[in-house]
Amino acid sequence: MSGQQLSMRDSLYLSDDNNETTFKYDNQLPSLPVPSVRQSVFKLLDTIRPITEGDEHAYKVVEQKALALLNDPDVNEVQELLKKRAAERKNWLEEWWLEFAYLRSRKPLIPYSNMAAPLPIMQYWPIISPGQPGFDNVRVQRSALSTYFQLCFWKMLRHERMRPMIHKGVPWSMNQFRYLFNTVRRPGEPMDELQSWFRTAKEGPPESVEIIVLYRGYIHSIKPVTILDNNTSETCILSAPQIERQLRRIESWCREQATSGPGIGSLTTNERSVWKEARDELMGISEHNKRLLDRIERALSVLVLDDHTPAGTQEIFELSMAGDANDRWADKSITSIAFKNGTFGANADHTPYDGFCTGIMTHYLMTSVEECAGQWNEQLAAASNSSLAVYCEPELLEFQLSPSISVSLNESLEHFKTTTKTIHVLHSTFGHYGKAILKEHRMHPEAFVQCAIHATYFRRHGRMAPAYVTASTRRFHNGRTETCRSCYTEMRDFAKFINDNRPPNDDGRRAQTYALLRRSVTRFQELMNEASNGHGCDRHLMGLYLTAILEGKKVPELFDDELVQRTNNYILSTSCSGYWNVCGGVPPLVEDGYGCFYGIEDNAITFGLTAYKTSKETNLELFHRNLFDVLLEMQQVLLNSKL
């Protein structure tokens, strides 16, 4: 790249050192530590106290069990066994987290587990309404270009050109990016299986260069990538106009059919054990079906063409979270959804990676679209080697069905409708301020938003709620996340005071509100740093529990305590998607909970909020209004303070 000026996108993402490859540091990262039992137990107690306000007896019972655990020689033995496991593996948690947090769950992936998000790309690609010029062509044109850029991202990963992430001088694991493409969660019993066929160029040619396209219940395959040389693993990507030609063929063919297709993908949206049985039956019908399933599961990714015309991010979020089961393959690691009016959403299996992976790829796509003004142009054509690519016509993947599979398809479709209609989602941007003013006041942006979320819950329900916020442990080998428990004494003090003093109408109260806010923000940063350094309590306590069970040891009473279990069922499920407007979410962990996901920009905060319509406790519309009211009140707290 010497002598050539990099685009903004490439300057952000491409490594400027050929020796600093994407996965360079992964095997050099330190092992995930095992905290001390004392540290984890007292951290747990600190987050239980705000929940038990007004019931000192309940807290004392838990405290006694905690102290008993600390003096239990059996617990010390279990801790030593866990340390032994940690000495034998670079990440003692990795396999357990995958198995017990994801693969053993029997619930449908959609809507309960998969991540969903709108792509906030309308500033570059405005919505084209029916009747406007270009409406009939906008979906395939934009899908082709976004697919091209997605494949550029894939190729950047394959050739390890993506700059490894380094946070404050510390390299972070890039391992999760290996599971963005060519990855599937296969249904199994008693647990599913995660399989990935992604290879870097050094590891060999791609296992599959197909993209699966779902439209009107039919399944097609396109091959937008050509393998030029199996020895060098060199590939080239079709141009966006060539991909558009493939997609247009699929769109036209499906529209010409008298009826919709069978919607085989709806089977993947059922409970995992039910889908396992149906999958086994499908494979038992013919070798042809086996080959089709294998091709879909190995494929790079999935693209859905959807005939809905969502009016904005709210409707896109709804349709991406649920939508049409006939055009879903829930097991695949990434599904892009292209709506008829040129808008986009995504649905992704959470099992192999966390939301930052899709967030980063989305930002890459958005930056790419911005730079080319949303159009394929001569500069893109010149920079690509698309002229070497071999064009292939789309291929219809048609399964051979049995009467019982047809029954299973109908049952899966009805089950999907029943489960997805219980989910309530809201996607909204608070546009009054963002991290710019927070930085002026030396307030950590995420900590500030957490304070707003807790104050909102307190306003709505009159009490504090068990809450988790995602902390990254990617500084460790194959690290993913730790729970940062954001309900603590300082948070309770702030949430209670700002709600008891509305508005703070004298200087003394305003000063006290600010002081409590500052104290809560500071404590959040401490807890987040501890969790990111592998010293949270949740994963460690999970490790102790599993070690005791698997080694046949006695499980301490503390783990079975009703209050402890209640605080582990987080009412507030929260996470920061990044410092941008890319923001989606998942449903809450519990029926009476809220999902609060947020992206923080300089002058705005975007929220993806979720709840269950079946809950008699929650009201997502009111929670949303209260949240924005609290944020406005907190702005006044800042403005009335002295910097």
The predicted pLDDT at position 643 comes to 53
The predicted pLDDT at position 504 comes to 62
Written as six digits, the tokens of 39 are 């540290």
Query: Are 541 and 413 within one domain?
Result: no
No. of helices (H) and no. of strands (E), the chain: 22, 19
By the 10 Å C-beta count (0-12 exposed, 13-18 middle, 19+ buried), 114 is classed as buried
Helix (H/G/I), strand (E/B), else coil: 38? helix
The rounded distance, in Å, linking the Cα atoms of 228 and 247 is 23
By the 10 Å C-beta count (0-12 exposed, 13-18 middle, 19+ buried), 81 is classed as middle
- Mean pLDDT, the chain, whole residue set: 95
> Nearest 5°: CA angle at 302, between 300 and 304?
160
CATH number at residue 143: 3.30.559.70
Query: Are 417 and 440 within one domain?
Result: no
Q: Residue 1 — very low, low, confident or very high, per pLDDT cuts 50/70/90?
A: very low
14: β partners: 162
Residues noted as catalytic: 350
Query: Are 405 and 478 within one domain?
Result: no
Q: Residue 340 — very low, low, confident or very high, per pLDDT cuts 50/70/90?
A: very high
Mean per-residue pLDDT, 121-143: 95
Residue 293's CB is within 10 A of a number of other CB atoms, namely 18
Q: Of the residues 364, 394, 423, which one is the last residue of a structural domain?
A: 423
The rounded distance, in Å, linking the Cα atoms of 59 and 54 is 10
Q: Within a domain: residue 193?
A: no
Q: What is the 3-state secondary structure (H, E, C) of 481-536?
A: EEEEECCCHHHHHHHHHHHHCCCCCCHHHHHHHHHHHHHHHHHHHHHHHHHHCCCC
CATH number at residue 596: 3.30.559.10
Mean per-residue pLDDT, 120-138: 94
Query: Are 262 and 150 within one domain?
Result: yes
User: What's the N-to-C CA distance of the chain in angstroms?
Assistant: 45
The rounded distance, in Å, linking the Cα atoms of 303 and 19 is 34
Asked whether residue 503 carries a pLDDT value surpassing 80, the answer given is no
Lowest mean pLDDT among 190-199, 253-262, 419-428, 493-502: 493-502
Helix (H/G/I), strand (E/B), else coil: 102? helix
Asked whether residue 2 carries a pLDDT value surpassing 50, the answer given is no
Q: What is the pLDDT of residues 159-182, one digit of tens each?
A: 999 999 999 999 999 999 999 999
Asked whether residue 51 carries a pLDDT value surpassing 50, the answer given is yes
CA distances from 210 to 157, 264, 330, 371, 635 (A): 17, 18, 17, 27, 50
Asked whether residue 56 carries a pLDDT value surpassing 90, the answer given is no
Q: What is the pLDDT of residues 606-631, one digit of tens each?
A: 999 999 999 999 999 999 999 999 99
Query: Are 83 and 119 within one domain?
Result: no
Query: Are 554 and 573 within one domain?
Result: yes
Q: Within a domain: residue 108?
A: no
Mean per-residue pLDDT, 452-477: 97
Q: Within a domain: residue 36?
A: no
Q: What is the pLDDT of residues 10-24, one digit of tens each?
A: 999 999 888 899 999
Mean per-residue pLDDT, 387-395: 93
Q: Within a domain: residue 372?
A: yes
The predicted pLDDT at position 288 comes to 98
Query: Are 353 and 456 within one domain?
Result: no
Query: Are 314 and 446 within one domain?
Result: no
The predicted pLDDT at position 419 comes to 97
Domain span including residue 559 = 55-88+431-640
CA distances from 164 to 6, 11, 13, 460 (A): 18, 13, 9, 42
Q: Within a domain: residue 218?
A: yes
Contacts 24+ apart (CB under 8 A), 283-286: 285/400, 285/401, 285/402, 285/405, 286/400
Q: What is the pLDDT of residues 92-119, one digit of tens each?
A: 999 999 999 999 999 999 999 999 999 9
Q: Within a domain: residue 103?
A: no
Q: What is the pLDDT of residues 544-564, one digit of tens each?
A: 999 999 999 999 999 999 999
Q: Of the residues 423, 451, 478, which one is the last residue of a structural domain?
A: 423
Handedness of CA 25, 26, 27, 30 (dihedral sign): positive
Count of domains observed in the chain: 2
Query: Are 453 and 477 within one domain?
Result: yes
Query: Are 272 and 319 within one domain?
Result: yes
The predicted pLDDT at position 39 comes to 97
Q: Within a domain: residue 40?
A: no
Omega of the bond prior to 503 within 30 degrees of 0, cis? Answer: yes
Query: Are 401 and 528 within one domain?
Result: no
Helix (H/G/I), strand (E/B), else coil: 641? coil
135's enclosing H/E stretch is helix 135-158
Query: Are 410 and 439 within one domain?
Result: no
The rounded distance, in Å, linking the Cα atoms of 198 and 162 is 15
Of the chain, the percentage scoring pLDDT greater than 90 comes to 90
Q: Of the residues 389, 423, 457, which one is the last residue of a structural domain?
A: 423
Q: Within a domain: residue 94?
A: no
Written as six digits, the tokens of 236 are 């080239």
Q: Residue 636 — very low, low, confident or very high, per pLDDT cuts 50/70/90?
A: very high
The predicted pLDDT at position 16 comes to 83
Mean per-residue pLDDT, 282-311: 98
Q: CB within 8 A of 277, min separation 6: which ones?
A: none
